[in-house]
């Protein structure tokens, strides 16, 4: 079709050679994409030497979620976050729980998003009483342009934004974000695990967790514990010690795996493995280790005296002694977080 240019002009890329190849600068893969091809994420296309984003405005998932669902337990608890996800991902996790969205396939076609789409979603978020906006469900790095336009609408409304991410974005992307909070996956703690099970790399994730914390972003970290693949106690001990070295107050969510996709023959994570991981995290100095997709160990306790400060029943709060205060009423010790 002459003169038809699919998608929208992409940001964060550069020409790479005389043959029209484009290098995408969004994530650690740094795909070099020849004309007519897409990058690993399947949603960035080299169209005649120009990189285009194919998922701008393609809202594959949209919901008003409790912020606890991200999971963020120390960020504005009990509030609702307007949550948007678009197709594509820069990883290919064997057990992806969302692969209908994350791997849209080679036939994925862009939509023509209305020019005022971000503004209209902004109005919807305000009408529904969203306290914040989250870019989530898939990987926001690969819908960067769309997420940035939505974040601008959130900023106009005075709402903070959240990224729920695998942490594989490039340093340029991380630097460009005006984000209040992130939940970053730390899927394992060896390069072998990342390469074999996710198709990604560990080193960029570690760098990005460290950078986000140093920039004052509120960061919580999630590890999905997969039986036999990343639940070795010695490795978990190294992971927890590394995290505690960045800050003992970084909350660590240890989440239960259920069989999916190319890992459908594995069993669900035994509860005792989750509890052992939690004990390892605490013994390595972390103040807050939570279990996900499993009963119990979801309350926030004062790291000083053990007093229950926030009690959770699923995503609902049964008690919240921190919002508006941030200190334990029993011993006066502050608990790290954003307790607005
Ligand atoms: S976002 Fe990452 S995976 Fe997608 S094209 Fe760019 S470098 Fe490749």
67-82: pLDDT as tens digits: 999 999 999 999 999 9
Q: Distance from the CA of 272 to the center of ligand 1, in angstroms?
A: 38
pLDDT more than 90, % of the chain:
91
Q: How far is CA 247 from CA 167, 183, 304, 334, 336, in A?
A: 18, 15, 16, 15, 10
The answer to whether the beta carbons of residues 128 and 104 sit under 8 Å apart is no
**Domains of the chain, with CATH numbers?**
8-53 (no CATH), 61-299 (3.20.20.70), 300-340 (no CATH)
User: Among 88, 83, 89, which Cα is nearest to 62's?
Assistant: 83
User: Model confidence at 3, in pLDDT bands (50, 70, 90)?
Assistant: low
* In contact, 147 and 182? CB cutoff 8 Å: no
Closest atom of ligand 1 to 142 CA is 1
Percent of the residues in the chain that have a pLDDT greater than 70, as a whole number: 99
Check residue 196 and report its DSSP letter: I
Q: Which residues line ligand 1 (CB under 6 A)?
A: 24, 26-27, 29-31, 39-41, 44, 90, 141-142
Between the CA of 206 and the centroid of ligand 1 the distance, in Å, is: 19
Distance in Å, CA 298 to ligand 1 centroid:
35
Q: How far apart are CA 121 and CA 57, in angstroms?
A: 10
Are 290 and 40 in contact, with CB atoms under 8 Å apart?
no
What pLDDT shows up at residue 110? Answer: 87
- pLDDT tens-digit readout, 96-134: 988 889 988 877 888 888 989 999 999 999 999 999 999
Identify the CA nearest to 340 among candidates 83, 155, 64, 131. 131
Single pTM value for the model: 0.97
* 132-173 pLDDT, tens digit each: 999 999 999 999 999 999 999 999 999 999 999 999 999 999
User: What's the 267 CA to ligand 1 centre distance in angstroms?
Assistant: 32
Question: In this structure, what token pair is assigned to residue 89?
Answer: 């991902």
| Cα–Cα distance measured from residue 196 to residue 102, given in angstroms and rounded to the nearest whole number | 18
Measured CA to CA, the distance from residue 66 to residue 316 in angstroms comes to 8
pLDDT tens, 279-312?
999 999 999 999 999 989 999 999 999 999 999 9
Per-residue pLDDT for 1 more than 60? Answer: no
For a mutational test of ligand 1's pocket, the pick from 22, 29, 87, 200, i.e. the residue with the most ligand atoms closer than 8 A to its C-beta, is: 29
């Amino acid at each position: 079709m002459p003169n038809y240019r699919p998608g929208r002009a992409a940001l964060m890329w550069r020409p790479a050679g005389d043959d029209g190849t484009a290098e995408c600068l969004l994530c650690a893969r740094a795909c070099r994409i020849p004309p007519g091809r897409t990058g690993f994420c399947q949603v960035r296309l080299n169209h005649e030497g120009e990189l285009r984003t194919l998922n701008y405005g393609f809202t594959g998932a949209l919901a008003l979620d409790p912020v606890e669902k991200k999971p963020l337990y120390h960020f504005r608890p009990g509030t609702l976050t307007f949550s948007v996800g678009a197709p594509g991902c820069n990883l290919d996790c064997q057990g992806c729980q969302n692969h209908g969205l994350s791997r849209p396939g080679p036939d994925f076609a862009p939509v023509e998003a209305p020019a005022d789409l971000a503004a209209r979603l902004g109005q919807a978020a305000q009408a529904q009483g969203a306290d914040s906006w989250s870019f989530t469900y898939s990987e926001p790095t690969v819908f960067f342009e769309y997420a940035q336009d939505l974040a601008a609408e959130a900023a106009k409304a005075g709402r903070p934004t959240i990224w729920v991410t695998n942490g594989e974005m490039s340093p340029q992307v991380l630097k460009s974000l005006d984000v209040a909070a992130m939940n970053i996956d730390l899927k394992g703690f060896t390069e072998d695990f990342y390469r074999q099970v996710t198709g990604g790399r560990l080193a960029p994730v570690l760098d990005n967790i460290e950078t986000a914390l140093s920039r004052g972003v509120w960061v919580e970290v999630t590890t999905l514990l997969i039986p036999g693949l990343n639940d070795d106690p010695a490795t978990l001990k190294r992971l927890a010690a590394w995290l505690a070295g960045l800050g003992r107050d970084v909350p660590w969510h240890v989440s239960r795996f259920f069989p999916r996709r190319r890992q459908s023959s594995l069993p669900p994570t035994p509860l005792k493995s989750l509890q052992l991981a939690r004990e390892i995290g605490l013994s390595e100095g972390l103040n807050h280790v939570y279990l996900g997709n499993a009963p119990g160990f979801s309350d926030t306790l004062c790291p000083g005296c053990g007093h229950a400060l926030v009690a959770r029943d699923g995503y609902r709060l049964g008690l919240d002694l921190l919002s508006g205060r941030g200190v334990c009423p029993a011993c006066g010790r502050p608990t790290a977080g954003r307790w607005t």
